[in-house]
Amino acid sequence: MTVEVLPSTGRHRWDDTWLTSLQSFPATGNFDLEAGAHGVLMVHNEDIVDAGGGFDTHRHRDVEIVTWVLEGSIEHRDSDGNCGLIGPGLVQRMSAGRGITHSERNASSRRDDITAHVIQMWLPPDADGREPGYAERDFTEDLSAGELVTVVSGRARDRDTDALGIGNRFVALNIARPGAGATVELPAAPFGHLFVARGEVELVGPSPTPLAAGDAARSVDEPALTVRAVTDAEILFWEMHASFDL
């Protein structure tokens, strides 16, 4: 049983004229995403996208992409005719399947000059060559109570919930917005990835572990972890019941 803390300052950074990308797993350049993964989480980028900036149309295959916006908004368009405007509280899942092209841009014009602050996460499907798919759902109301909410899941237990489906039966993404002093219990999993999107929290234990915005903690074979919010906070937790090594 282990928990590894990854400070915000230790992330890989990639800059473009319109983008600052802080990457929990190095993803931009000649990197082996599978070899660098934790569990099956290959990409976990915190991106700051300037007004008017974004990725032009490009292609993906056999990858599940989940997008969570902290500030601003992102416009999505893809070759299956899906078009979405993603803002805070709304989670988006795109399943690339056998192949899809898409673009994603800051929905703000340069004149409005509103930066988009985005978390994007990539995982593999549990089978290749499926039909592409797209889904989005607003969880703002669900998150208002401060409790942990499963927003994306391929687990059988979540089929009859509001969680968006994903093409990997071994994973679930849980999000919470606890107020200062509140505690959240994270589900036990063979592999876990906790990311602090806002505020400050601590992992409860004999020696509490402080985590600030941008920090992450990766767990292996841990029982349920308890997180206490030091300030009002927002956390994302991937529970994973498989890895590339299994």
Per-residue pLDDT band at 29 (split at 50, 70, 90): confident
Structure tokens at 39: 């569990």
**Percentage of the residues of the chain whose pLDDT score is greater than 70:** 98
SS3 at position 53? coil
The structure's pTM equals 0.95
Least Cα distance to 238 among 162, 186, 185 occurs for 186
* pLDDT one-digit tens code per residue, 106-157: 988 766 788 999 999 999 999 999 999 999 999 999 999 999 999 999 999 9
Please count the other Cβ atoms lying within 10 Å of the Cβ belonging to residue 163: 24
Q: Which domains does the chain have, with CATH numbers?
A: 2-240 (2.60.120.10)
Would you say residue 246 has pLDDT above 70? Answer: no
Q: Are 216 and 191 in contact (CB under 8 A)?
A: no
pLDDT at 231: 98
pLDDT of residue 176: 98
